[in-house]
Structure 1
Amino acid sequence: MGTWDALKADTYRQYGRYRAALVLQGFVTRRTFRPVVTMRLCQAARDAGTAGRLVLPLLKLLHRMATHGAAIDFPWGARIGPGLALTHAWGLVVSPGVRIGRNVTLFHGATLGRRDRVGADGARDIGYPVLEDEVWVGPHAVIVGGVTIGRGSRIGAGAFVTSDVPPYSVVAGNPSSIVKSNCVPDVMNPAPAELASSGKQPCISIPESP
């Protein structure tokens, strides 16, 4: 799926429909949508060859301004599937190595972060979370390390997650535990298949960049 198709799906999550004019409207009027737009623009420029790379520094500056205005730490180069929704967003932190699937929802104060494990020999093992499709992450939840949050799962407010979560599970608490299985995904305005699907497997199956 191309960057522009991903932006269409992001817009659908915001409005429950897509029109090109809604992208501009959301960029101007919605503090939490603006960083999503600038992220997609940066990625489009990165992938557009020489001409794109010429405008990329300006777009990166625009993205920095958008994230500053939204009070979030949201890297433009993160691997994020179509249909992302940021709800309230204040204090959201996303590490650059995180991978996020389609139709994911992130609430304010959530942290998706790196975790370092240092062995007895001093070797450092670094891991980042992977969120599969239709995951919902509640306010002030913390997900760190090389864990996978299975498709359709919900991470409750304030949960501290350091281990894998099976698909369609509800997780709560610190330390976190599974409080419900076989849950229904919580996706407001899910982007339809023609916008949110590229025919690939969920984000977990995409190999790491070299």
Structure 2
Amino acid sequence: MKNLINIFCLACLICSCHTIIAQESASADNLQEKPEDYKKRSPIYDYSEKQLNNTDTIPDFVSKRNKLKIEGTIYESDGVTPAKNVLLFIHQADEDGNFELKKYNKKRYVHHRGWVKTDADGHYTFYTFVPGKYIYGNELKQILPIIKEPGKPEYKIETFLFDDDPLLSNKRSKVKREDVGDRILKLDKKEGLFVAKRDIILGKEVESY
């Protein structure tokens, strides 16, 4: 009988502890409540502020054949003053031209993506890879960027293009090389990876700026 009482008391204690832990977990979840517009908002906001700096590495960088380092400076609208604390978000297709989708907290996102925040000199660096183009389409190889200036809403800028893309030299292409010169990444091979430079002037590529 005594053993039964001890077992009963132990069971009650376990249940009690389990309830407390569950409540603590629920409280933690409440502290991390997602904004109402979480699913619809721009992916530029889906980052951890504490981990953000002027350099980021795209997922799967190490395993990719055509590794790419993109670096540059973001300038204020005058084209001279470095713009600090500007967020730059990019996402891109994989080497086969497909946008690999993942899901987190019931929100779909492009797997190959990254964020940087410019330093005091306006500098940023991405370690990524050269994307492919969809085999059944006429899309250019490109990287898609979004900008967020301090105190202003986010906005898209023109995509990063690639100098060796044959579609840029195709007479039937809607995009003409002479019209997109500032957007074209010219790749140099250095120490096992391609290196390209892409400077950005805030507002230059946005009509409503």
Smaller-chain TM-score bracket? under 0.3
Structure number with the bigger relative contact order (C-alpha 8 A, sep ≥ 6) is: 2
Based on CA coordinates, which of the two structures has the bigger radius of gyration? Answer: 2
Greater strand share, 1 or 2?
Answer: 2
Greater helix share, 1 or 2?
Answer: 1
Q: TM-score, normalised by structure 2?
A: 0.23
